[in-house]
Structure 1
Amino acid sequence: MMKKTLLFLMFSVLCFAQRTELIRLNQSIKDRNGLARSLTLIDNRADKIIGTIADKKETAEIKFEAEDLKTYFENRFLEDNKKLGNMDVVLMLEELKIYDEQDENKQYPYAKAKIKMSTFLKRSDRYYFINRFSNVIVCDPKRTAHAQRFLATVISDIMTELIKNSYSGVVSGSFIPENEINNYDEYLRNNFKVFLNPELKDGVYTNFKEFLNQRPNSGYSIEKNKKGKVVRLMKGDLQAPLSDMYCYVEEGKVYKLTPVGFEVLQKDAIGFYMYTSRANLFAEAKTGGVFIGAVAGGIVGALIGAAIESGSNSNAGAMHGIGFKSNLESNVYIDSLTGAYVFEK
């Protein structure tokens, strides 16, 4: 009887077993220029539990390999960086959740990871924004055997690349007082005319920074055909590639170039957005006509390497991205500080 009871208990444990996948910083976070002196983590997550997803007949939970994340990141930085500079980098972890979500008109749920993290340069009690990654990564169960392994690896890669890009990233001009660091997004938005002015200035904006500051580039103009569609971008009297343009504003409306054409940006309390899909935004650019060069190649490093000051439209969100390129349409926001696409689904 005792043997049967033990066998039953062992069988029950096996039936309800839960796998655990650990997030490890497997790649180096070395600052090759030796500028950084320290890396500090601020864990601002309201809920420290990352989450659990289905894995065939089991469940799988994703965790960090260390519970004390602050010490973990600080020690890892010192392990990888023997030559230290004088720059103190801060990584703020704002949101990290994994979950299964069945979207409308989809046959089965998708495993997803919602990630939001930012980096800052700290000088005394002042913080200067460097960069941010804010997005939802989608895993297609038909193409990935174990979603938890894929997502844990992607999370690690994104963290690593964000940290490494931040060592030499251009900082924002406005500082954030230490007592406002948890409210940095709203604090910085108050410096940008695009969020303060009731009306937007008409004209061509060649990068996101110009759009934020509402300073259209007077050297550029657009030309339309008889149907009212934009057919070319002009720099003075010479034709320029449309990829030189971040967006243009006409009669107060914002038109953003995407691989499938111009999308009109709407605005709500969160910011500017368009109703579209990953499949549209990460499509290959057309090889003839107006959209040559609209899409840049996509790797994790390039995806999070965009900075406000870069002036590079190829880094402003029009990239292949990470994860499954779903055709699900939803509101896709423009990150208020980096100009990158922010998916919520």
Structure 2
Amino acid sequence: MKKIILFLLFSVFLSAQKIGVIELKQSIKDKKAFSKSLTLIDNRENKEIGKVTEKEGFGEVKFANEDLKTFIPNWYSEDNKGTGNNDIVLMLEELKIYDEQTPNEKIMFGKAKIKISSFLKRNDKYYLINRFDNVIVCDPRKTSSIVKYLSQNISDVITEFIRASYTNLVLSQYIPENEINNYYSYLIKNNKSLAPELKDGVYLDFKTFSNQEPAFGYFIEKNKKGRFVRMKNKEEIVSLSNAFIYVEAGKAYRFTPVGFLEMKKNEKGFYIIASRAELFAETKTGGVMIGAMAGGIVGAAIGAAIDSGSNKGAMNGFGFKSATMTNVYIDSLTGSFNFEQ
């Protein structure tokens, strides 16, 4: 009798447990044929992705094939002939799912933290292409399975990130092979914007802001209420959306879809206070705006540097577009939006 009861309890346990599988089935074809290979460095400290609470029981997320170092090159080869010149290296630094109650919310959200970077490898030198360092949010009121929602979004992020890495411009400074695992510490030393004082002026892209080189002839005018109303290049009016950051009296303001927001700074770097709903509007076609992960060419000369297109919040428009206001960090290497909640 006890064995029957235990069997029934175990059966109930299994039926309450949901599995979300990261399939990675989408096409990652390099349409420009710039790439020659795609490999992976898996630097996750914990290879278990984790569990979240479902409406009934709990759920777990797993890769369909957990041997990612073999799977990623094979996945690439299935969609590409590898006739280009560029060796692309992915670095998966963090991937985990968990429950978290957002401030001012009574419900528990399912969340996925993912941090992934890509590099162009030339001999024993690595050049940063881009990074995605964000939290994906699932609202349990809007889906029947949290783990399936999160696993699909994780798959979408990795797929879109790979596609964009074929054509994004690269950061000019290289990283020696023996420093690749410490690439952030190695590169961040060159970001002059993290110094105590900022130069006043208009910065049209992330590169010039990090180098502290404001655009010559550009300035922004305010109305009587102190709001930014127009930008000029000498006497010609140009769109405010051409600006990346404006600095006045040492204070920096980041341009966003809701206008310029003041940038604050702590030990993690610069951040603005905003929500996903504000920063990631839907396009007229219904798709999510993902910034200029769509722009640039890896095949261009090394040293071209990340341009203004890749710093409007690239690739962060995944998951539930919550209206919750949080600290949104400005990635110190790419200029993109990094959500921690």
- The two structures have a TM-score, normalised by structure 2, of 0.90
Match of 2:318 in 1: 322
Q: How many residues align?
A: 331
Match of 2:328 among 323, 332, 337: 332
Q: Does 1:200 align with 2:189?
A: no
Classify 1:110/1:332 alpha carbon distance in 2 versus 1 (closer, same or farther; 3 Å). same
Does the aligned pair in 2 maintain the 1:281–1:318 contact within 8 Å?
Answer: no
Structure 1 position 87 matched with structure 2 position 80: no
Q: Which residue number corresponds to residue 237 of structure 1?
A: 235
Shift of 1:304: 4.7
Which of 5, 9, 25 is equivalent to 1:8? Answer: 5
For structure 2, the residue ranges without an aligned partner over 5 or more in a row are: 297-304
Partner of 2:125: 126
CA shift for structure 1 position 233: 1.0
Which residue in 2 is equivalent to 1:181?
A: 180
Contact residue 138 and residue 324 of structure 1 kept, 8 A = yes
Q: Does 1:154 align with 2:153?
A: yes
How many Å apart are 1:310 and its aligned residue? Answer: 2.8
CA distance in 1, matches of 2:211, 2:217: 17
Give, in whole Å, the separation in 1 of the partners of 2:287 and 2:208: 24
**1:256 alignment partner, SS class:** strand
Q: CA–CA distance in 2 between the matches of 1:262 and 1:300? A: 18
**Paired residues of 1:282 and 1:319 also in contact (CA < 8 A):** no
For 2:167, give the aligned amino acid: S
Is the CA contact (8 Å cut-off) linking 1:296 and 1:320 kept in structure 2? no
Shift of 1:320: 8.2
Give, in whole Å, the separation in 2 of the partners of 1:320 and 1:83. Answer: 28
Q: How much is the aligned-residue C-alpha RMSD, in angstroms?
A: 2.4
Structure number with the bigger relative contact order (C-alpha 8 A, sep ≥ 6) is: 2
Residue identity opposite 1:147 in structure 2: I
Letter in 2 for 1:25: L
1:147 deviates by 1.3
Q: Call closer, same or farther: CA 1:173–1:303 in 2, change over 3 Å.
A: closer
Give the Å deviation of 1:281.
2.6
What is the rounded CA distance, in whole Å, between the counterparts of 1:43 and 1:194 in structure 2?
31
Quote the residue 1:96 is aligned against.
95
- SS in structure 2 at match of 1:312: helix
Cα distance in structure 1, aligned partners of 2:56 and 2:293: 35
Structure 1 CA distance for aligned equivalents of residues 285 and 171 of structure 2: 24
Structure 2 residue 340 is matched with structure 1 residue 344: yes
Report the CA distance between 1:83 and its aligned residue: 4.2
Amino acid at match of 1:222: I
Structure 1 runs of 4+ aligned residues shifted over 4 Å read 295-298, 300-308
Q: Counterparts of 2:292 and 2:20 in 1: how far apart (Å)? A: 24
- More deviation in 65-74 or 276-285? 276-285
Instruction: Report the equivalent of 2:110.
Output: 111
- Would you say the 8 A contact 1:316–1:338 is kept in 2? no
How far off its partner does 1:5 sit?
A: 4.1
**How far apart are the structure 2 equivalents of 1:111 and 1:303?**
28
2:135 aligns to what?
Answer: 136
- Are the equivalent residues in 2 in contact too, given 1:103–1:109 (CA < 8 A)? yes
Q: Please give the secondary structure, in 2, of the residue aligned with 1:16.
A: helix
Q: Which ranges of structure 1 fall in alignment gaps of 5 or more residues?
A: 286-294
Counterpart of 1:263 in structure 2 is: 261
CA deviations over 1:170-197 (Å, ceiling 9, x no partner):
11111001111111112111122212x3
Query: Counterpart in 1 of 2:273?
Result: 275
Secondary structure at 2:306 match in 1: helix
Rounded Cα–Cα distance in structure 1 between residues aligned with 2:85 and 2:261: 44
8 Å Cα contact 1:300/1:322 also seen in 2: no
Alignment of 1:203-242 (within 5 A): 203-242=201-240
Partner in structure 2 of residue 68 of structure 1: 67
Describe the SS at the equivalent of 1:73: helix
Q: Are 1:265 and 1:274, in contact at CA under 8 Å, matched by a contact in 2?
A: yes
- CA spacing shift, 1:204–1:55, aligned 2, 3 Å: same
Amino acid at match of 1:321: G
